[in-house]
Structures are given as C-alpha cells and as structure tokens.
Amino acid sequence: MKNKQKSALTKSLGLCSLGLLASCGLQTEEIAPPNIIFIMSDDHAWQAVSAYNERLSEVAPTPHIDRIAAEGMRFDRCLVTNSICGPSRAAILTGKYSHMNDYAANVYVSGNFDGSQQTFPKLLQEGGYQTAMIGKWHLGSDPTGFDHWDILPGQGHYYNPTFINKDGTYDMHGYVSDIITDKTIEWLKQRKDDPEPFMVMMHHKAPHREWEPGPKYLDFFKGVEFPEPHNLFDDYSGMGAAAREQDMTIEHTMRLDADLKMWGPGAGGGPYQRTIARMDEEQRQLWDRTYEPIREEFERLDPQGKDLVRWKYQRYMYDYLATIQSVDESVGRILDYLKESGMDENTIVVYTSDQGFYLGEHGWFDKRFMYEESYRTPLVIKWPGKIRPGSVNTDIVSNLDFAQTFLDAAGLADPEDMQGRSMLPLLRGETDEGWRTAHYYHYYEYPAVHSVKRHYGIATDRYKLMHFYYDIDEWELYDLVADPHEMQNFYNDPGYASVQEELHVRLDELREKYGESAEDSFRLIPVQQN
C-alpha cells in the first residue's frame, strides 16, 4: 500500500499530525484508506426522502436511506450544476461544469460522453483502488476508469432488463433495482478479503419515468391518499415566460397510457407493448391484477378538469413512490451486508440522486429548471467513527464536490483543474470560513423535450437570480425566505434593487471564476435556425 494511502485518515480527517500519532493511539501502518460505496438514483426528489420530509414520512417512509442520515450527515442544500441526467453524471465524474467537460445535454443532443478525460475513478485506480460501476450509466460511451463495469444501455428497462459489460450485451430476469443490488453485493463478496480499498458506484434506474413499480410493491400504496402540494394549480402569474411555456405539467404533459398505465386489455403497440413485452406470464398477471381495477375505476369516475389533475397526481405519486420503495430496500440490503461482513467500519456510504424532481409543485413533474425542487438533490453520507451520527449540514454543497471529496478521503491529491471542493471539513463538523456562499447553475438543453428554456443563474442561502437568455432574454429573482415556493419574481422590484445589483456582480464573478463565456452557451448546443 502506498504511503499516501497509509496516511489517508490523518491527512483527510485532521485528527492529529504525524508527530502526534502516538498520543492519538494510531500507527501509520495501521491506517487504511476507506472503501467508498456511492449509491445514486435517477430523479429521486429530495422531498421524497422521509429524512427531509416529515409529512411524507407518515405515508411513504424511506427508512434505509434515513439510516444513512441517522448514522451520518444529512446535507440540506446540495445543489446540482445542470439539472438533467447525463450532464449531472458527467459533472460528478469530472468535478467540472458542463462547459468544461463538454457534456451539456443528454446523449441524444450532446452525443456520447468523452471517456478519455480525467475522472475521479481513474485517479482512484491510479491510487491503488479497485473500482466498479454497476447499474445506470446513461452517458453513451463505455465506462472508463473501472476494473469492473456492468451497466444498463441508455435508460434501461424496469422489468427483465438488458445489461452491457466488457463481454457484450445480455438479458437478466427480474426487477432492475433488485438485480443492480444483487450484482453489487456479488462484487463486494468476491473481493471481501482483498487488501486493496475499493470504490463501487451502484446507480439505480429508479425512479425515472415511467415509474414502473416492482412486483413486491405494486400494491404497496393501495388506499393511500398523498398530500397535494399547495401550488399544484399554479397559474405562473408571478413567474416568467419560461415557467408558462414549458411542457412538463401533470395536466397536459403526463400521459394516461405510458405514465399512468391506463391502457385497455389487449392494447397493441406503443408504451403498453414495450412494457408488457418484457414481462413473463407471472409478472404480467401481477401487473394486470393491480392496474386493471384502477383503470376500471378511472373509466367509471371519468374525472375532468381539476378532478382529473388530482387523480393523475395521486396515480403519479403511487407509482413514483413505489419504485422508491425498491431503491430504499436496496440501500438497506447494502447496509446490512456491510455490517454482516464487517466491512462497515471503514466504508463511506453515500446516497444521492443525479438531480431533484417535481412532485406536483407548480403543477409539474420532471426537472431541468433552477427552481428549488429540481435544483436541489438529496445527499446523505455515513462514515463510522468519522462523522457524528445525526449531523445536519446547511452549507451550499454541490455534485461538483463529490469527486474531490472521494479523492481527499482516499488521501489522494486534489487535481488543480477540478472545480469543486472537498467536503471533508464539513463532514468533520468544522466551520470552513472559505466555503462557498453562492452557487452557479447552467441548463442548456433547448429546444428539446419538455421545452425548458436555456438559463443560468446564481443561488445564495436566500436569493436566486436566473437569466433565461435564449429566445426570451428574461431575468427572474426569488427570495427563498419571503417566498420559499418561488411563486413571485421580484426582479426590478424597487425593494430588491440592492440585492439585484449585488447578485448580478456575483454572478459575473462566478462565470469568470469557472471560465464560462457567452460563446460556450451556443457552442455546446448550437441554436437551431428557423
């Protein structure tokens, strides 16, 4: 084991200097770098984790994700750089903003991620770690920097999914969240007694659209009524054109057939065929046993107007939260295996999502916007003996910070070209006077699905300034204290003149700091000419 790894705990945690090791009761040869299990789901809203949402905990708890928070630290202000699946993953891997890693939109717009560039798994490999990637990759190109990889192609399927590894493509029988968990535990078992540290990324497909629950949880929420967000029927009168002109509402965009499974018996083609065709007879019978009575009730009720929106919202929550039950179960299985195998004491466990998601707020589903529900993501981390159990952090952290945090924990050098910061001081519970007080965001994927316009902006602990720069050139300013649900744009309000001026200056400073020019916005995704 390399010397820089032997001293990882001393270097990373600041528990004592080398000269004080004896008084700390530590010997350098006994100090091993930690293992890292990085669990990430796809589109898991922070407000759908019961550790963040007491109201939800009454009807849809996530006890195993909550275990990580209870045994470690919950971050209440983890913000993403670009709220969409592929670019978020690219930012996590590289520790760089989209304009620096050249991956600003999903694969059908940006093409494949350039896997030849520097990533934190490659640096961990160079530092003596075994690395693995299992589950949803969603970057087009084959994974690089991993000793072992076994991934879903593209979005992947919920039932009887296809996988790809270095040997080729093959099919598996079962439910995708269970299979990804099985594969991860199998990999952990195979290297249980290996002296080298490891980092494994277990990345789930769920709860991505179209929210297909597994057999175990098809009826899990039967009879449950989910609380509605107070702005389910937002008319966007206090917001801008971008909010009014999107295409991601439950009312108009969410489909009764594919999204909410309201297809009739024997329906041919389309979303029904794609889902049912992958199921075996037993899976299909369980599926029909659940959804046929719901479809029949829907036809009997024939809801219209706001009643239809309310009905769709309840069905959306039923399916979305049921897929999360499988993810939460997966987390519990991993935690249990670590404890049973004795691997938990020196293993960092991270749970997060690639971004947040709308659960009916503003009448929406999906993500993309810089508004709070999709901009913020859940993040809980445990490291026994290093993080005080039950800790809560309110600093502005970001998925941009993950790479450097993992490298720092491993005792490895911090690459100068990465743009985040190690969160280890925060994990120790220290106050870092130099920590960021503002965060930069940029979304590029327009024109595209859901019609969310390009925008960039700055967020502080209280305020948020956004510029919808292409096609409408509008600014929006929100006050998260006076208006926590972001219903009223205060831009050009005289009462916010000084705040507005300061945010403009700080936004320009962040764009300069991170090296983004106006040309980058159109270089990454050229504007389509009419």
Residue 274 has a pLDDT of 76
Mean pLDDT of 38-60: 95
pLDDT of residue 527: 77
136, β-bridge pairs = 152
pLDDT for the residue numbered 85: 97
DSSP codes, 409-462? HTT----TT--S---HHHHTT---TTS-S-EEEEE---SSGGGPPPEEEEE-SS
**pLDDT tens, residue by residue, 266-277:** 555 566 677 888
Dihedral pair phi/psi, residue 67, rounded to 5°: -60, -40
Q: What is the pLDDT of residue 267?
A: 53
492 vs 422: CA distance, rounded Å: 37
Residue 14: pLDDT over 90: no
**pLDDT tens by residue, 127-163:** 999 999 999 999 999 999 999 999 999 999 999 999 9
Residue 512's SS3 state is helix
Q: What is the mean pLDDT of residues 328-345?
A: 97
Write out the H or E segment, with its range, that includes residue 190. Answer: helix 176-190
What's the pLDDT tens digit per position in 192-241?
A: 788 899 999 999 999 999 999 999 999 999 999 999 999 999 999 999 99
For residue range 402-420, list pLDDT tens digits in order.
Answer: 999 999 999 999 899 999 9
Show the tokens assigned to 483.
């208006």
For residues 118 and 415, is the Cβ–Cβ distance under 8 A? yes
Pick from 21-35, 381-395, 512-526: least confident: 21-35
Confidence check: pLDDT of 16 > 50: no
- Confidence at residue 272, expressed as pLDDT on a 0 to 100 scale: 64
Q: Residue 450: in which H helix or E strand, if any?
A: none
What pLDDT sits at residue 24? 37
Which tokens is 180 given? 């990804």
Report which DSSP code applies to 263: P
The answer to whether 208 and 155 have CB atoms below 8 angstroms apart is: yes
Closest by Cα among 5, 2, 128 to 410: 5
Question: Structure tokens of 95?
Answer: 């520790």
For residue 104, pLDDT over 50 is answered with yes
Give the pLDDT of residue 271: 64
Total count of residues recorded for the chain: 530
- Write down the pLDDT at residue 191: 86
- Cα 215 → chain centroid: 24
Please, are residues 224 and 171 in contact by the beta-carbon 8 Å criterion? no
Determine the average pLDDT of the residues in 327-350: 97
pLDDT greater than 60 at residue 1:
no
d(CA 392, CA 144) in angstroms, rounded, equals: 34
Tell the CATH topology of 440-524. Answer: Arylsulfatase, C-terminal domain (3.30.1120)
What is the per-residue pLDDT for 196? 94
Mean pLDDT is lowest, of 1-15, 145-159, 347-361, 506-520, for 1-15
Average model confidence (pLDDT) across the chain: 92
Segments making up each domain of the chain, as ranges: 440-524
Q: Answer for the pair 397, 79: CB distance below 8 angstroms, yes or no.
A: yes
The answer to pTM > 0.85 is: yes
User: How far is CA 273 from each of CA 38, 258, 266, 269, 319, rounded to the nearest angstrom?
Assistant: 34, 10, 9, 5, 19
DSSP state of 175: B
Q: Flag the least confident range among 7-16, 349-358, 446-455.
A: 7-16
What is the pLDDT at residue 526? Answer: 86
